[in-house]
Amino acid sequence: MKLSLRLPRLEKVRETLRSRAGSLRGGVRLVARREVLFIAAVAFLSVVVTLIVLTVSSNARERRTADQARQKQGKVAVSGEEGALSVDDFLLPAAPQAEQPPAYYPFRPPVLKWTRENVDKFWVPPRRIAADAIGTINDRNMENMFEKVP
């Protein structure tokens, strides 16, 4: 097995990569600066828009509470225009309390201790339940089989 290294070619590749990396460093810095400036601008605009919305909604709430106070005192509420809507007009009312569930009407009066007669009225042997289920399945299979016969 012969092992040969071509060092001159490897050195040439390394030099090429170093020269390209050196030329890109300034470009990378410029792109990074643009990205940081863009992110900062978007953050600043979102803060400004949020402050504007909060200011407008708080003023509308204050105006609405003042109008409600005037109405309680018997004075007519005056708000900019007749029939003007505020942000608070679009708030949904609180959900109503859930009603009490309907009263439970038992089929039979509750019994603390069961007698043999009570058990005999309601008892169904498990074998009969299984036999009924198997019988129903077998009847259905037989009907399907006879439907396929011409």
Domain tally for the chain?
Answer: 1
Q: Is residue 90 part of a domain?
A: no
Give percent of the chain above pLDDT 90: 23
Amino acid identity, residue 116? Answer: R
Q: Is residue 130 part of a domain?
A: yes
Q: Is residue 25 part of a domain?
A: yes
The whole-model pTM stands at 0.29
> Which domain, by its residues, includes 13?
8-78+108-148
Q: Is residue 32 part of a domain?
A: yes
Model confidence pLDDT, tens digit, residues 98-131 = 777 667 777 777 788 989 998 898 888 999 999 9
Distance separating alpha carbons of residues 18 and 111, to the nearest angstrom? 92
Q: Which is nearest to 57 in space by CA: 94, 19, 91, 26?
A: 91
Distance separating alpha carbons of residues 109 and 135, to the nearest angstrom? 35
Q: Is residue 20 part of a domain?
A: yes
Whole-number Cα distances in Å, 134 to 78, 126, 137, 140? 78, 12, 5, 10
